[in-house]
Structure 1
Amino acid sequence: MSILSGKKVLLGITGGIAAYKSAYLVRLLIKAGASVKVVMTENAKDFVTPLTLSTLSKNKVYTSFTDEEENEVWNNHVDLGLWADIFVIAPATANTLSKMASGTSDNFLLATYLSAKCPVYFAPAMDLDMYQHPSTKKSFKTLQSFGNIIIPAGHGELASGLIGQGRMAEPEEIIAFIEKDIVSKLPLKGKKVLITAGPTYEAIDPVRFIGNHSSGKMGYALATTAVNLGAEVFLISGPTHLDIQHSHIKLVRITSAEEMYNAVHQVYNQVDIAILSAAVADYKPATVASQKIKKKTAVMQIDLAPTKDILASLGEIKETQFLVGFALETNNELENAKNKLSSKNLDAIVLNSLNDKGAGFGKPTNKVTFIDKNLTEVAFFLKPKQEVATDIFNEILKRLDD
Structure 2
Amino acid sequence: MWEGKLIVVGITGSIAAYKAVDLVRRLVERGARVRVLMTAAAERFISPVTLRELSRAPVVTDLFAPETAGDVITHVQLGLEAAAFVVAPASADMIGKMANGLADDPVSTTYLVTRAPVIIAPAMNSNMYTHPAVQANIARLRSLGCIFVGPEEGRLASGHRGPGRFSETEKILAAVEQALREREERRGGPAGGAPVGGTAAVAPWAGRKVLVTAGGTREPLDPVRFIGNRSSGKMGLAVAAEALRRGAQVTVVMGTVDEAVKERFLAAARAASPAVVEVERAQEMLRVVMDSGLDQDVVVMAAAVADFRPKTYSVEKIKRVRSGSGTGGGVSGGDGAGSGHGVDGGDPGRQETLVVELVPNPDILATLGRAKVERGMPKPILVGFAAESGDLVSRAREKLARKPGLDLLVANDVRQPGSGFGSDTNAVTVLYPDGRVEPWPLMTKDEVARKLCDLIQDRF
1:311-330 aligned at under 5 Å gives the runs 311-318=365-372, 319=377, 320-330=379-389
Q: Which residue of 2 aligns with 1:310?
A: 364
Paired residue type of 2:356: I
1:190-222 Cα shifts (integer Å, max 9, x gaps): 111111111100010111000011111111111
* Structure 2 contact 220–227 (Cα < 8 Å) conserved: yes
Change (3 A) 1:182 1:350: same
Secondary structure at the residue paired with 2:83? helix
Q: CA deviation at 1:288?
A: 0.2
* Structure 1 contact 227–248 (Cα < 8 Å) conserved: no
2:399 is the counterpart of 1:340: yes
2:236 is the counterpart of 1:219: yes
* Structure 1 contact 341–347 (Cα < 8 Å) conserved: no
Q: Which residue of 1 aligns with 2:457?
A: 397
1:201-247 Cα shifts (integer Å, max 9, x gaps): 00101110000111111111111111011111111111121233223
Secondary structure at the residue paired with 2:401? helix
Tell me, in whole angstroms, the C-alpha distance in 2 between the residues paired with 1:223 and 1:180.
Answer: 14
Q: Which residue of 1 aligns with 2:418?
A: 358
Q: CA deviation at 1:340?
A: 1.4
* Structure 1 contact 324–349 (Cα < 8 Å) conserved: yes
Q: Which runs of 4+ in 1 moved over 6 A?
A: 178-181
Tell me, in whole angstroms, the C-alpha distance in 2 between the residues paired with 1:279 and 1:362.
Answer: 12
* Structure with the bigger percentage of strand: 1
Q: CA deviation at 1:385?
A: 1.0
Change (3 A) 1:266 1:77: same
Q: CA deviation at 1:81?
A: 5.4
Identity value in percent = 34
Q: Across the two proteins, how many residue pairs are aligned to each other?
A: 249
Q: Which residue of 1 aligns with 2:448?
A: 388
Tell me, in whole angstroms, the C-alpha distance in 2 between the residues paired with 1:334 and 1:326.
Answer: 13
Paired residue type of 1:228: R
* Structure 2 contact 196–247 (Cα < 8 Å) conserved: no
- The one of 331, 352, 358 equivalent to 1:298 is 352
Change (3 A) 1:262 1:179: closer
Q: CA RMSD in A?
A: 2.8
Paired residue type of 2:449: A
Q: CA deviation at 1:183?
A: 3.0
Tell me, in whole angstroms, the C-alpha distance in 2 between the residues paired with 1:276 and 1:202.
Answer: 18
Paired residue type of 2:380: Q
User: Normalising to structure 2: TM-score of the pair?
Assistant: 0.50
1:321-379 Cα shifts (integer Å, max 9, x gaps): 11010111112211111121122121110010123211021111111011122222221
Tell me, in whole angstroms, the C-alpha distance in 2 between the residues paired with 1:288 and 1:120.
Answer: 54
Change (3 A) 1:81 1:357: closer
Paired residue type of 1:262: R
Change (3 A) 1:326 1:118: closer
Greater mean deviation of Cα atoms: 190-199 or 72-81: 72-81
- The one of 285, 289, 298 equivalent to 1:264 is 289
Secondary structure at the residue paired with 1:261? helix
Greater mean deviation of Cα atoms: 290-299 or 180-189: 180-189
Tell me, in whole angstroms, the C-alpha distance in 2 between the residues paired with 1:231 and 1:197.
Answer: 17
- The one of 288, 299, 323 equivalent to 2:313 is 288
Paired residue type of 1:287: T
Secondary structure at the residue paired with 1:280? coil
1:30-49 aligned at under 5 Å gives the runs none
Change (3 A) 1:389 1:378: same
Secondary structure at the residue paired with 1:326? strand
1:64-117 Cα shifts (integer Å, max 9, x gaps): xxxxx9559541268635349xxxxxxxxxxxxxxxxxxxxxxx99xxxxxxx9
Tell me, in whole angstroms, the C-alpha distance in 1 between the residues paired with 2:197 and 2:276.
Answer: 24
Secondary structure at the residue paired with 1:294? coil
Paired residue type of 1:330: S
Change (3 A) 1:373 1:206: same
* Structure 1 contact 197–279 (Cα < 8 Å) conserved: yes
1:35-114 aligned at under 5 Å gives the runs 74-76=75-77, 80=81, 82-83=83-84
1:7-22 aligned at under 5 Å gives the runs none
Tell me, in whole angstroms, the C-alpha distance in 2 between the residues paired with 1:211 and 1:220.
Answer: 19
Change (3 A) 1:376 1:80: same
> Which ranges of structure 2 fall in alignment gaps of 5 or more residues?
1-61, 86-112, 115-182, 190-194, 321-349
Secondary structure at the residue paired with 1:357? coil
